[in-house]
Amino acid sequence: MRLRGLVVPVVSFAVLAVVVAVLPSFVSEFRAQQFAYVAIYLIAIIGLNVLTGYTGQISLGHGAFMAVGGYTSAILMADHGVKDIWTIPLAGLVAGAAGYLFGIPALRLSGLYLALATFAIAVSMPAVIKRFEGFTGGGTGINLFGIPELTASLTPVSVLGKELSFNDWLYYLSWSIALVGYVIAWLLLRGRTGLALRAVRDSETAAQSSGVSLARYKTLAFGVSAAYAGVAGSLFAIATTYVNPDTFPVALSILLLVGVVVGGLGSLAGLVAGAVFIYFLPTWSQAVSKSPGAPSVVSGALLIALMFVLPMGVAGLVERFRLLTRRVYHRSGS
Amino acid sequence: MADFVQQVVAGLASGSIYASLALALVLIHRATGVINFAQGEMATLSTYIAWTLTTNHGWNYWPAFAFTLAVSFLGGAAIHQTVIRPNEKGSLLRVVIVTIGLLILINGLVTLIWGGEVRAVPSPFPSGTTEIAGVAITTQDIGTILVVVATVVVLWLMFQYTKIGLAMRAAAVNPAEARLVGVRVTWMLSLGWGLAAVLGAIAGMLAAPSVFLDPNLMAAILIYAFAAAVLGGIDSPVGAVVGGLTLGVGLNLIGAYVDFVGADLRLPVALLVILVVLLVRPAGIFGREEVRRV
């Protein structure tokens, strides 16, 4: 029984991994770059889903943790000569530590108040970055383009005997990290930890009286999800080869939450759809209208509509379909 | 000394704008139990409507002001009836996401209709300053404070002395029993949303002349209003007003006299206020501790 439960996730993951591996052979380098960004968003929303979907803590400030990761990488590369790929785990650690520390006061905040406090963090982050100019480059930001620490930015890099341009390199790098992150999240969430986190989400009082330490699991969820955001922010800085205070605006934080909701709260399977959605939405809505406000109108309306028809996101749709087919299957079988 | 008093009055003026928006947040929190993240964008939309009427259609300021308030009222009530009410039964997260959806939608709508340019908005009050006890105070500041004070007084009279105000309070405090005595609870809640939209519109229209009008007009003001509402107690209308004024004066003084903070770090200071209040006294200055039955 336990083994049978593993078949679907393992097979679907393998399919995803194969699609990811062969895709660059079929699409242009420009598309590869776009899909690299999808992977970056995916990493961030996997992390956000651990916090919001599984633990029930709404965060409207994950863009700020991405900023922490992005700036950690940029500063390490530009000022300390650290090679880009080594800055990625460091960015995850720094952002994870920041998230863990923020998780401690956040223990006292529940529901709406947490949403509010994290929202305020996202709004004030650009101002803080601008203020500490000596460290962050202020409003001008930090330029990474063409520096030797950035792999493949000027000359192709050869990996396993294959010559990769910057965009292809970026694609493989971010998707490898995304897939590893996906597996780590899956392993974390399917065991006792995941059970404890879901218990915290469903009823704090009940979880506490069953011996689940709220403090431990909430701060853990904050730390883990901020670490994911930090890794995503680091990759984002590498991909754009440039960071400034507007690289990580409030809109990004909101977009990440949209991605999680579209993908399905408390589910990992739908998140790829969520990441594709938030990355390609601006492109798609250009087809409807060229005005700069159009993407927001479409995504806002869609988000509201989704709460009406599909509060569980794409994953909920898949689940519903699965239940339906199972019912049909059982009926024909009996 | 004169400089100090000027800073205080300027702080009171911006504080009354925060108070107005904070009051809107409190009204909705009392009525629906959620924090309306779209409150700032709703106010921005109202401000654009007033701006179009006066600049493009040649209306005088005060008729446009009144017309905008009426439109905002209907809009707020309509938002509650169409998108908030059907989602209230679900989890808290669902309603919060709907208000965030509204935030994105309205922000996009404003950009779509009016474009992203920054526009100057004429002030309804005569320019220049008035001398009071040797201190020069801008007429804009005095007018702003007076309009907000008048609004708060009218609201207070309505809630305290009219039947509809009583029904609204009853619907917010105990919907089930209010329904039993014949209060149409959902309509009262819609009324609350409408009034909140009116308060937001007032805040937006008063803020626009001094900070210029663009689609993100209210983003920072919304954070200040959040801080004010949390400071005063998210369920206390009096608290929202006191919190707004305190925050306005406090931020203005800190910005003027503490060099490290200056004009740039005022938002993070407001964030700090939110965090400290929530940690030290989560109910705010005037709020009551919530006791939850398990």
pLDDT at A98: 92
Write out chain B residues lying below 8 Å of A254, CB-based. Answer: 100, 103-104
pLDDT at A333: 46
Over residues B112-120, mean pLDDT: 85
Nearest CA in chain B to A298: B105
Confirm if B233 and B239 have CB atoms less than 8 A apart: yes
**Residue corresponding to tokens 């529901």:** A111
Q: Would you say the C-alpha torsion A107, A203, A92, A29 has a positive or negative sign?
A: negative
Question: Is A244 or A330 the better-scoring residue by pLDDT?
Answer: A244
In this structure, what DSSP letter does residue B120 have?
Answer: -
Confirm if B112 and A322 have CB atoms less than 8 A apart: no
A117 touches chain B (CB under 8 A): yes
Instruction: Give dist(CA A32, CA B136) in Å, integer.
Output: 62
Question: Is A174 or A320 the better-scoring residue by pLDDT?
Answer: A174
* pLDDT surpasses 90 at B47: yes
Q: Which B-chain residues 126-165 have CB contacts (< 8 A) with chain A?
A: none
What is the four-CA torsion angle of B105, B106, B111, B114, rounded to 10 degrees?
A: 140
* pLDDT surpasses 80 at A67: yes
* pLDDT surpasses 70 at A329: no
Nearest to B90 by CA among A179, A312, A186, A225: A312
pLDDT at A1: 46
Question: Is A38 or A328 the better-scoring residue by pLDDT?
Answer: A38
Nearest to A85 by CA among A178, A170, A181, A168: A170
* pLDDT surpasses 80 at A66: yes
What is this model's ipTM? 0.83
pLDDT at A68: 93
**Which of A58, A117, A265 is opposite residue B274, by nearest beta carbon?**
A117
Over residues A49-76, mean pLDDT: 89
pLDDT at A89: 92
Q: What's this model's pTM, rounded to 2 decimal places?
A: 0.83
Q: Which of A150-164, A301-315, B216-230 has the lowest mean pLDDT?
A: A150-164
- The confidence band for A128, taking pLDDT boundaries of 50, 70 and 90, is confident
Q: How many CB atoms lie within 10 A of CB B105?
A: 23
Instruction: Give dist(CA A197, CA A189) in Å, integer.
Output: 8
* pLDDT surpasses 50 at B234: yes
* pLDDT surpasses 90 at A242: no
Q: Please indicate whether, in this complex, the C-beta atoms of A250 and B219 are within 8 angstroms of each other.
A: yes
Write out chain A residues lying below 8 Å of B108, CB-based. Answer: 293-300
What is the nearest CA distance from B162 to chain A, expressed in angstroms? 31
Q: Would you say the C-alpha torsion B158, B162, B166, B168 has a positive or negative sign?
A: negative
* pLDDT surpasses 50 at A167: yes
Over residues B140-162, mean pLDDT: 88
- pLDDT tens for A150-161 read 776 666 776 776
Q: Which A-chain residues 1-60 have CB contacts (< 8 A) with chain B?
A: 52, 56, 58, 60
What is the nearest CA distance from B74 to chain A, expressed in angstroms? 20
Over residues A33-60, mean pLDDT: 89
Over residues B218-241, mean pLDDT: 86
Percent of chain B scored above 90 by pLDDT? 21
Burial class (CB in 10 A: 0-12, 13-18, 19+), B111: buried
Question: Is A171 or B259 the better-scoring residue by pLDDT?
Answer: A171
- The confidence band for A311, taking pLDDT boundaries of 50, 70 and 90, is low
Residue B70 identity (one-letter amino acid): A
Percent of chain A scored above 90 by pLDDT? 17
* pLDDT surpasses 80 at A133: no
Confirm if B124 and B143 have CB atoms less than 8 A apart: yes
B274 touches chain A (CB under 8 A): yes
* pLDDT surpasses 50 at A91: yes
Question: Is B147 or B128 the better-scoring residue by pLDDT?
Answer: B147
Substitution target in A57, A307, A308 with the highest count of B β-carbons within 10 Å is: A307
